[in-house]
Structure 1
Amino acid sequence: MNFFEHQAAARRNASWLVLLFALAVAGIVIAVDLAVWLVFASADPVPGETGAMLVFTSLLTLGVIGLGSLYRIATLRGGGESVALQMGGVAVPEHSSDFHLRRLRNVVEEIAIASGVPMPKLYVLEHEAAINAFAAGYAPSDAVVAVTRGALERLNRDELQGVIAHEFSHVLNGDMRLNIRLMGVLFGILMLAIIGRKVLELGRGRDKNAGAILIAALIAMIVGYIGLFFGRLIKAGVSRSRERLADASAVQFTRQTTGLAGALKKIGGIDEGSKLSHRGDAEEISHMLFGDGVGLRSWFATHPPLLERIRVLEPGFTSDQLARLRLQWHALPPNGLDEDVQMGFAGARTMPSLPPSATEQTVTPAGVVAQVAQPGADDYRAADVIAAHLPEELRALAAQRDRVVPLLLALLLDTQPVVADKQGDEIAARMGKTAAVEARTLQQDAVGSLHPVLRLPLASLAFPVLRRRPRPELDVFLDTVNAMVYADGNVSLFEYCLARLLTVHVRESLDPSRYARFGRRKLSGVHREVTTLLTVVAQCGNTDAETARQAFLAGMLRVLPDQPLSYVPRTDGVLALDDVWVPLDALEPLAKEALVEGITATISHDRRINVAEAELLRTICSVLHCPLPPLLGQQ
C-alpha cells in the first residue's frame, strides 16, 4: 500500500469511525432510556408522561455526549503540542548538553530530511521509565514526537531509529489526524461515566436526602461504562492494523529489522515494559503509543501481541528467548549509550560528498509516486549525508529564535541583484532595515552558494523554531514572504513554491484543526487548475515553446487523458498559480496520485531530472502535502 492508498484508507477509517461512534451513542441512549422506563413504569405515572420523559432523557443524553466531544475537540485545537503537554511532556531544547537529547534530535532530523516533512517538535516524558513513544498532531506542520526517558536511556541508536521511524509512518500516512480526532470523539461517549463518578465522589457523606441524586449518578456511571466498552473497542479496531503497517513502514525505511525488533524485545524484557505510570492519560492516548501503555487484552488491545510483532521481524524468535533476555536485563538493565559505543556509533564517520548540481537521474512518474512518503534505506543514508553537509553556521541560525526569520528570508532572496534589492525593500518596509540587511548578508555570504539539495532540509530544520514566534510576528513574516514573491515579475518557480510552502506550514501550525481535512474533490472538478499548474511548470522548465508544449502534453496525458489537450502559455508566469493550490490540495488521495504523476511527467518529459528540477518537484509536492524523500530514483 503506497502513501496515496494509505491516505484513502485513513479517509475510509474516518467515515467508519463516524458510524461506530453513532452506534455507540445509540447504545448509550437506549441504555439510559431503558433505566428511565424501568423507574417510571414502576411509579405508575400519568399516561403519556413516560414517553415525554424518554424523549427528554434521550435529548439530554445526546446533548451531554455532543457537548463532551465538542469540548474535548476544542481543547485539542492546539494539535500535537496540547497532547504532549497533557502527558507531562517537556520540550527538547535546540541546544542541550544531555547526550540522550542530542542523539534523539539527530535521529529525528535525519528522518525528517529523509521523509521530506517539516521537523516536528520534540518532547520527552521525563518521569516515564517505560519504553514508549507517540506522534500527535493534525498535520506534519504541527506534528509532535514524544518519547519516554526510558526509551532514551534503554535503546541504542538503531533501536531508537526504528521507534522514531515507526512514529513517522503515522505522521506521513494520515494516522495522526485520525488519532487526535478519535480522542475528541471518544471523550463524549465517556461523559456519562465521568459525570456519574464525580457526583458520587462529591455526594459521599452528604445529606441523606440526596439519595435519589446518588442513585441517578450511579445509574449514569454504570450506563456510561457502556461508552467505555465501545470506546475501547473502537480504539482497538482502528489501531491494531495501523500498528502493523507502521512496523512494516519502519522496516522499509531503515532497511533493517534489528533496530525495531530490539526495541520490542527490550519492552518485553525490562521490568518497566511499555506501560506508562499515568494510566488515566495513557488510556486516552493508548491508540497513539508505540507500545501498549495500559495493559488491555483481547478485544480491547490497541496493539498486536508483543511476541507476534517480534516474530514478524524475526520469524525464529521464541518466548523462551524473550524469557532469557528478561532474566539477563533484570540483573543488568540495558544501557543504550553503552551499546552505541560497542556498535561503533560514538566515533566519527566519513561522509560521501553531495551529488554535483548538474547531476541527472533517470526517473519515471510511477517511480516517483512510489517514493512519496515511503522513504527507504537509501533515503535515510542520503539524509545522513545532507545533515552532515549542512553548514554548522546555518544549522545554528536555524535553531535561534531571533535569527531564524532572516535565515528563511535569505532563502527566498533572488540571485539577481535588481530583484533582490526590491525584495529587500519589502522586508525593510515590514520588518525594519536591520532584518533586510541581515537577510541580504546571509544570502550573499552563505545561503546563495548553498547546494540546491540543502535548501529544503534547512527550511525544514528551521520550522520548529519559527513556529514558536508570537502569532503577530508570524503574520508579519507571512506578509513579508508574499510581498517578496510579488516584488518583481521575475520570480523563479522554486522561490515562489518555497514561499508558498512556508505560508502553508505556518498557517497550519497556527490553526492546525482548521486544516485537518481529507480531500474529497475529483480531478474532473479541477480541470482549469491542473491545466494552469502543468502549463506553468512546462514554461519554467523549457525555454523552447515546442518543447514546453510537449512537456505539458506528457503531464496532461497522465492526469486528464480524456480532456482536450490545448497548451496556452501563461503571460503572468508563476503568479498564475495563486488560485490553484487550495483546490488541488483538496483532491482525494488517489486523484493526487495521478496529479503527482502528471507533474513528474512534465518536469522530466525527457525521462531525466537534474538536482534543481528534483528540488522543484519536491517543493510542489510538499505544498500539496505529498512529501518526497531527498533523492529521487533511489527505490
Structure 2
Amino acid sequence: MAHPGFFQRQASARRNTTLLVVLFLVAVVLITLAVCLVGYVVTRSESSGLAFQHWLLSRHGAMTAGTVVILIILGSLVRWVDLAGGGERVAKMVGAREIDPDTRDAGERKLRNIVEEMSIASGVNVPRLYVMDHETGINAFVAGYTPGEAVMVVTHGALTQLTRDELQGVVGHEFSHILNGDMRLNVRLIAILAGILMLGQIGGFLVRASFHRSTYSSRSRDGRGQAAIGLIGLALLVIGYIGVFFGRLIQAAVSRQRETLADASAVQFTRNPEGIAGALFKIGLKGGYLDTTSHASDMNHMCFGESARMKLSSLLASHPPVEDRIQAIQPGMLARLRSRFRDTEPSTDLSHGQKTPHTANTSGFAGMQLSSGKQSAGFSGSVGTLTRGGEDYAIALLAQIPQTFRNLLYTRAGAVQLCYALLIHALPRHEQDDVLAQITRHPLLSPQRDILDKLLPALDSLGAAIHFPALELAMPALRKLDPEERDGLHAAVRQLIGADRKVTLFELAMSSFLKRHLMPESAQVVPVRYRSYKAVLPALKCLISLHARAGARIGDEAENLYQEAMAGFASQNETGTLQARVSLKELQQALTTLNQLSPLLKPAIIDAAGHCLTHDGRVDVTEYEMMRLVADQLDCPMPPLPA
C-alpha cells in the first residue's frame, strides 16, 4: 500500500468532514426516533390508538421530534461556539498548563527541543506546548483549526515515563495529525458529540432532580408528578446511552484509519520504529487514561492512545488495539519489547484485561512505500514531509544558535525585536537608528536597543538561512500578543519595509508570513472555491510570471520559461505572454485566490514555480524564500532545502 502524500491526505481530511456530517445526521434521526417512541408510548391513550408512523405526523409527534432536534443542534452549537478559540480553548478545557518556553524542568525542555527540531524540519510553525500536570497516564494530543495556531498537549506521565526516543515517536505521531489536516476534524467532532450526548445529560439531571425533591415532599400529587419526571428522565438517560453508543461509533469511524496513518508517519519522521513502539508498549503496560478531567470521553478520538475506559472496545475504540499498532510498525517488534521489559515490568499484559485479537501475519508499515526523503514530485514532493536531511539540518541549525539568542525568542519582547532585527541587520548602525525612530512609541512594540544588540550579531554570524527558522521559533511568543499588539507589530514591520521605498523578496516573504499567521483570519479555514485551473488563470499568470523573471537571466529566456511552466495549466492562447510587471498587491491577491483551489490542484503550482527557480540547476537562499512564501500562502508547509 502506498503511503499517501500531503495533498492526498488534505483532500481525505475534507472528505472525512463530509462523512462526519452524514454520521451526525444519521445519529440525530435515530435518537429522535427513539425519543419519539417513548413519547408515543406515553401519549398513546391521547392519540386514539394511532399507529406509530401516523403518530409521528401528528401534533404530538411533530413537537416531540422538533424539540429533540433543536436540543441536539443547540448542544452542538453551544460547544462549537465555546471551541471557537481553537487549540488554546481545548487545552484550557482539559485543565492543561502552558509550558514556559524557558522552563528549567528537564522533561519540559526535552519536549520543547524535540518539537522545535521537528517544526523546523517540517516547515510547520512551532505549536504552543501544554502539560496536564495531574495526569499520570501516558498520552498526548494536538488541537486547533489550522497548523498556524496549533497547540500540543502532553500528560505529565508522558514527560516523566518516556525516553527521548519514545517521546519523539509520540511527537512525530502528533505532527502527522497537524500535517494531515486532522485537527480541525477532531475539534469539530467534540462539538458534534456534545449535541448527541445532550439528551442523556438532560435525562440524568431530571432523574437527580426527581430523587432530590422526593426526599422533601410527601404529598401524593407531588409524588406522582415527581415519579413522572423521574420516568421521563430515566427514559432520556437510557436514550442518552444510545447517543453515547453512536458517538463512540462516529469517533471510531473517523479516527482508526487516521491513527494508523499517524503511526506510519511517526516512523517515517523519526526513522526509529522502536521509539513510537516503545511508547505504545508503555501505554499497554501502564495505561493512557485521563483520570482527572471530565472530558476524557470527549477527547478519546484526539489522543495518542485511548483516554477513556469503555466496554465493547473492539467495536467502539477510537484506536486500533495497542498490540496491533506495534505489530504494524514492524513485525516481531512486540516480542522484542516484551523480552526487553520482562525483567523490569511486573506484567506484559497490554490489554488491561480486554480481549485483543492478535494478527501474526500483519505486515503493516513494513509493506508501505514510505518516502525516503527524496523529492519524488519536484518541490511538491517534499511538502508536508520530514526527511533525514531536513531533520539533520534542523538539529545542526539549532545547535549553532546561541542560547541567549534562543531564549530571547521565547519572550514577547524578544520575538518582537527579532522581527525588527531581521529587517535592519544589513544596515549600518546609524541607518538602523533612523528607520527604528519611525516606529510609533509603545510599551512593548518600541525598539529596544539592548535586545537588538544581542540579536543582531547572531543574525550576522548565522546568515540568511536562520531567518525563517528564527521566525518559526518566535511564533509561540508572537501568538501571545493581543489583537491590538499584533496590528501594531504589523504596522511597524510595514514602516520598516517602506523606509527605503523598495521591497526585497525577503521583506515580502516576512510581511506575508506575519500577516498569514498573526492576523485574525489566520485561524479561519480557507474554503475550496475552485476545482479547475481555468477559473484561476489570471492568478497563475501573475505568480508564474514573477517566478519566470526570477529564474531567468534575460528577457527571451524568461518568456520561454514562462511558457514551459504554464503549459501544464492551459494552452498558449489562454495563457498569453509573460506579464510585464507584478506588484506586491497583485501577488498577494493571486496567492489568496490560488489558496482556494482544491488541495489536489496545488502541487502542480508549487512544481511550476519550482521549475522556474531551479532553471539554473540550483536553489539559493533568496529563491528558497520565494518558494517558502508561495508554499506558506497556499497552506503547504515547506521543509528546509539546505544548499
Q: Which moves more between the two structures, 410-419 or 96-105?
A: 410-419
Residue 331 to residue 26, structure 1, CA distance change in 2 (3 Å): closer
Matched, 1:180 2:187: yes
Q: Which moves more between the two structures, 28-37 or 120-129?
A: 28-37
Letter in 1 for 2:326: I
Q: Secondary structure at the match of 2:296?
A: helix
Residue 248 to residue 280, structure 1, CA distance change in 2 (3 Å): same
Q: Secondary structure at the match of 2:129?
A: strand
Q: Give the Cα separation in 2 of the matches to 1:28 and 1:364.
A: 49
Q: Secondary structure at the match of 1:179?
A: helix
Letter in 2 for 1:21: F
Q: TM-score, normalised by structure 2?
A: 0.86
Aligned residue among 131, 135, 143 for 1:124: 131
Q: Secondary structure at the match of 1:580?
A: helix
Q: Secondary structure at the match of 2:135?
A: coil
Residue 487 to residue 552, structure 1, CA distance change in 2 (3 Å): farther
How far is the alpha carbon of 1:627 from its aligned partner?
0.6
Task: Tell me if the contact between 1:292 and 1:303 (Cα under 8 Å) persists in the aligned partners.
Answer: yes
Matched, 1:294 2:305: no
Aligned residue among 72, 84, 107 for 1:77: 84
Q: Secondary structure at the match of 2:619?
A: strand
Match of 1:571 in 2: 581
How far is the alpha carbon of 1:17 from its aligned partner?
0.8
Match of 2:387 in 1: 376
CA deviation digits over 1:308-327, x for unaligned, max 9?
11112231245696388366
Matched, 1:43 2:61: no
Q: TM-score, normalised by structure 1?
A: 0.87
Q: Give the Cα separation in 2 of the matches to 1:541 and 1:483.
A: 29
Aligned residue among 286, 308, 316 for 2:332: 316
The alignment yields a C-alpha RMSD, in angstroms, of 2.9
How far is the alpha carbon of 1:45 from its aligned partner?
5.2
Match of 1:338 in 2: none
CA deviation digits over 1:575-606, x for unaligned, max 9?
43131232122211011112111221121123
Aligned residue among 355, 371, 396 for 1:385: 396
Q: Give the Cα separation in 2 of the matches to 1:307 and 1:440.
A: 53
Q: Secondary structure at the match of 2:309?
A: coil
Task: Tell me if the contact between 1:423 and 1:487 (Cα under 8 Å) persists in the aligned partners.
Answer: yes
Task: Tell me if the contact between 2:96 and 2:130 (Cα under 8 Å) persists in the aligned partners.
Answer: yes
Match of 1:460 in 2: 472
Residue 6 to residue 277, structure 1, CA distance change in 2 (3 Å): same
Q: Give the Cα separation in 1 of the matches to 2:60 and 2:496.
A: 64
Q: Give the Cα separation in 2 of the matches to 1:497 and 1:129.
A: 43
Q: Give the Cα separation in 2 of the matches to 1:315 and 1:631.
A: 34
Aligned residue among 269, 279, 291 for 1:277: 291
Letter in 1 for 2:296: A
Aligned residue among 528, 538, 542 for 1:528: 538
Letter in 1 for 2:302: M
Task: Tell me if the contact between 2:459 and 2:466 (Cα under 8 Å) persists in the aligned partners.
Answer: no
CA deviation digits over 1:3-55, x for unaligned, max 9?
00000000111111111111111111111222212222233459999701111
Matched, 1:592 2:608: no
Match of 2:277 in 1: 261
Q: Which moves more between the two structures, 477-486 or 598-607?
A: 477-486
Match of 2:167 in 1: 160
Percent of pairs with identical residues:
37
Match of 1:631 in 2: 641
CA deviation digits over 1:546-595, x for unaligned, max 9?
23323323332344457633334443543431312321222110111121
Aligned residue among 34, 37, 45 for 1:34: 37
Q: Which moves more between the two structures, 617-626 or 320-329?
A: 320-329
CA deviation digits over 1:148-188, x for unaligned, max 9?
11111111111111110110000111011111111111211
Which structure carries more relative contact order (alpha carbon 8 Å, separation 6+)?
1
Task: Tell me if the contact between 1:363 and 1:607 (Cα under 8 Å) persists in the aligned partners.
Answer: no
Aligned pairs (5 A) from 1:108-123? 108-123=115-130
Q: Secondary structure at the match of 2:616?
A: coil
Aligned residue among 297, 304, 307 for 2:320: 304
Aligned residue among 403, 413, 427 for 2:414: 403
Q: Give the Cα separation in 2 of the matches to 1:210 and 1:320.
A: 61
Q: Give the Cα separation in 2 of the matches to 1:424 and 1:19.
A: 55
Match of 2:625 in 1: 615
Q: Give the Cα separation in 1 of the matches to 2:443 and 2:574.
A: 47
Task: Tell me if the contact between 2:592 and 2:633 (Cα under 8 Å) persists in the aligned partners.
Answer: no
Match of 1:215 in 2: 231
Q: Secondary structure at the match of 1:123?
A: strand
Task: Tell me if the contact between 1:559 and 1:597 (Cα under 8 Å) persists in the aligned partners.
Answer: no
Q: Secondary structure at the match of 1:366?
A: strand
Task: Tell me if the contact between 1:404 and 1:465 (Cα under 8 Å) persists in the aligned partners.
Answer: yes
Q: Secondary structure at the match of 1:96?
A: coil
Q: Give the Cα separation in 2 of the matches to 1:500 and 1:19.
A: 37
Letter in 1 for 2:597: L
Q: Secondary structure at the match of 2:257?
A: helix
Task: Tell me if the contact between 2:613 and 2:619 (Cα under 8 Å) persists in the aligned partners.
Answer: yes
Q: Give the Cα separation in 2 of the matches to 1:602 and 1:575.
A: 21
Residue 254 to residue 433, structure 1, CA distance change in 2 (3 Å): closer
Letter in 2 for 1:538: A
Match of 2:370 in 1: none
Letter in 2 for 1:205: H
Letter in 2 for 1:605: H
Residue 444 to residue 167, structure 1, CA distance change in 2 (3 Å): closer
Aligned residue among 399, 405, 426 for 1:394: 405
Match of 1:500 in 2: 512
Residue 128 to residue 583, structure 1, CA distance change in 2 (3 Å): same
Q: Which moves more between the two structures, 200-209 or 96-105?
A: 200-209
Q: Give the Cα separation in 1 of the matches to 2:434 and 2:553.
A: 25
Letter in 2 for 1:616: M
Q: Give the Cα separation in 2 of the matches to 1:628 and 1:30.
A: 49
Residue 151 to residue 363, structure 1, CA distance change in 2 (3 Å): closer
Q: Which moves more between the two structures, 2-11 or 588-597?
A: 588-597
Task: Tell me if the contact between 1:406 and 1:439 (Cα under 8 Å) persists in the aligned partners.
Answer: yes
Q: Give the Cα separation in 2 of the matches to 1:565 and 1:518.
A: 23
Residue 436 to residue 583, structure 1, CA distance change in 2 (3 Å): farther
CA deviation digits over 1:201-220, x for unaligned, max 9?
22213142322222222222
Q: Give the Cα separation in 1 of the matches to 2:481 and 2:84.
A: 18
CA deviation digits over 1:326-347, x for unaligned, max 9?
6622399xxxxxxxxxxxxxxx
Aligned pairs (5 A) from 1:545-584? 545-560=555-570, 564-571=574-581, 573-584=583-594
Match of 1:328 in 2: 344
Q: Which moves more between the two structures, 164-173 or 306-315?
A: 306-315
Residue 388 to residue 320, structure 1, CA distance change in 2 (3 Å): closer
Match of 1:359 in 2: none
Task: Tell me if the contact between 2:284 and 2:322 (Cα under 8 Å) persists in the aligned partners.
Answer: yes
Task: Tell me if the contact between 1:177 and 1:516 (Cα under 8 Å) persists in the aligned partners.
Answer: no
CA deviation digits over 1:341-400, x for unaligned, max 9?
xxxxxxxxxxxxxxxxxxxxx997823211101112222111101111223332122112
Q: Give the Cα separation in 1 of the matches to 2:189 and 2:572.
A: 40
How far is the alpha carbon of 1:76 from its aligned partner?
0.7
Residue 623 to residue 281, structure 1, CA distance change in 2 (3 Å): same
Aligned residue among 491, 502, 505 for 1:490: 502
Residue 562 to residue 87, structure 1, CA distance change in 2 (3 Å): farther
Letter in 2 for 1:492: T
Residue 114 to residue 559, structure 1, CA distance change in 2 (3 Å): farther
Q: Secondary structure at the match of 1:146?
A: strand
Residue 327 to residue 118, structure 1, CA distance change in 2 (3 Å): same
Residue 488 to residue 56, structure 1, CA distance change in 2 (3 Å): farther
Q: Give the Cα separation in 2 of the matches to 1:365 and 1:617.
A: 17
Residue 559 to residue 256, structure 1, CA distance change in 2 (3 Å): farther
